[in-house]
Structure 1
């Protein structure tokens, strides 16, 4: 199974939730551990904490560079029902994957899918923020190649661009297929409390 493809289709946090129950398996560690960091056992608490953190910005629109279903569900329990979440998907994502995503959107608040290169309407620094997901490798924000391309494409947005890691590594290890997002592209990051 291609875990990076799965993460691209359902988000890193949903993928991490699915993996956390089987991470003790040496087979899973061998297969998954070569393409992405394995999630921490406390991923569910981190999702709740990240959702609270994002909602605390009181934005009306959140543009996610990956379809983070688990985060959207958690935010739906906390946010105002007028809050909108937009999942940006790459233009080369296959039609079947896009349809699966559209059929499985959280329903606690307004969630939509937008294909690159389009920009959401009425999305301004005063009412919106961009959310980028990946993992932290030391102080380096690492994202999948598609996410990197999306971050570069939407780098003209002058509002908050938040990085939310599903996993934090103490070393600066870079997995194959992941790229570092420069600090100029991200202006705020969530970190676990020490």
Structure 2
């Protein structure tokens, strides 16, 4: 199972939630450890706290550069469906994966899909926020390569750009295939564990 490919379809928080349930298995730890850091805490609580933090900004639209289905679903639950989510898809995501993502969207009328390189029409700094997810390795924000490219592509957005790590590591660990994000890009970073 390619966890990074799965994360491109359902998000890092959902992958981490599923990994947390089987984290006691030595086989899982062995297979996963090189491709992405394992969560060390209960992901349900982390998802709730991250969603609450994002909603605290009072925006009406949130554009996710990774399709964080677990976060979107929790935000809808906490806000009473008053939030619009935009999921930006990488241009190299195949049609089958796009179809699976569309079928897995939590609330289709409040969640829209935007394919790279397009920009949303009514997404402004006053009402919108860019959400980037990955993991923290020390003080380094680590993201997948397609997330890195999307973050650079949408870096011209003048509103808030939030980085939400699904896991926070004390040491500056870089897992295989992950890239360090430009430190100036996120305007706010959610830090919960350290």
User: Distance in 2 between the 1:179 and 1:58 partners?
Assistant: 30
TM-score normalised by the chain length of structure 2: 0.97
Tell me what 2:133 maps to. 133
Cα deviation digits, residues 137-176 of structure 1 (max 9, x gap)? 0000000000000000000001100000000000001011
User: Distance in 2 between the 1:109 and 1:56 partners?
Assistant: 22
- Show the 5 A alignment for 1:141-160: 141-160=141-160
Checking the alignment, whether the CA contact within 8 Å between 2:75 and 2:83 is kept in structure 1 is: no
User: Distance in 2 between the 1:182 and 1:100 partners?
Assistant: 31
- Show the 5 A alignment for 1:30-179: 30-107=30-107, 110-179=110-179
Return 5+ residue gaps in structure 2 as ranges. Answer: none
Return 5+ residue gaps in structure 1 as ranges. Answer: none
TM-score normalised by the chain length of structure 1: 0.97
Checking the alignment, whether the CA contact within 8 Å between 1:143 and 1:180 is kept in structure 2 is: yes
User: Distance in 1 between the 2:122 and 2:55 partners?
Assistant: 19
User: Distance in 1 between the 2:109 and 2:83 partners?
Assistant: 7
User: Distance in 2 between the 1:83 and 1:34 partners?
Assistant: 36
Cα deviation digits, residues 41-67 of structure 1 (max 9, x gap)? 321101000000001111111000000
Tell me what 1:185 maps to. 185
Aligned residues: 194
Give the aligned CA root-mean-square deviation in angstroms.
1.2
Superposed displacement of residue 81, structure 1: 2.9
Matched, 1:20 2:20: yes
